[in-house]
Structure 1
């Protein structure tokens, strides 16, 4: 920890460094004071690909322990205008026909990242009618400005939800929004249902219903190191 001036608190406050995201965050209001101060880009190979594409030599990102294969599955892409297009396309179609148990999780994690990773692009200095706020949220997907630890926690919670298979048939975006709501409370950075609704475009009532579906399974979907009696008390009843 260290001290830095926070423009929202208008004074010097203690800051926390989020190593996974490279963010410097105010410990009192949660404002990100400095973002991406570490290099999160992938490594590069030292030789060129004969296809001549602009981005053919990218090396994959880090492994993901929440995925069955660690996120190391091969993705076959089609080269642009290079020989072998037919072969690449055929292999890609064949791969897509195969079963990939992680496909749903990967899409869900990407959606959670979209909901949680961005910063607010405007802040209201005056009150707006609720109907106007909902309209703005649906039009712009008002971002939450959440740190990476909350995103990771929401990923873990959703993985447990998928393993339980207890909420099949529910709107997935609503389930993901409810997972974010739970993750925020578990990380002591609570957001209101309205905040989550504005960020995701999912109606408040739909998020509340999904939260009600998840609440009975709280002790099973909260990560093991969070599934303690005192932690679960931080979750408000639906």
Structure 2
């Protein structure tokens, strides 16, 4: 899958485009439009875990991406049920549930479909005791089918 690299802003036609790799965003410096977000930097990241500040042995950081997770292991989730009990006031609890609700609502139909389908795929592969590589390949194939619109209107079991 190739991405078209924009040379100018779609809003104001400015060529003053800034790509922030740390935040994963491409923005227009003139009008402030976020042209692209959630960009993933696939380059290697190395960290030095030495406490004394000397340059010791560096290691790669971060978990590998996975096709078996609906967000490929890159997304975030607003809290869990165990976090709810740590909150003190009713106001904080209300805010917690509101944020969780909006986090669920802003997901697209494709993301919701992938979440349910990949959970089912995990269940079936666990039951059949399939190797991880087979599960990854099946998830990759399902993702491609979703992107091409082949699963729309069909049950996950039939796909």
Q: State the TM-score, normalized to the length of structure 1.
A: 0.33
Higher helix share: 1
Q: State the TM-score, normalized to the length of structure 2.
A: 0.48
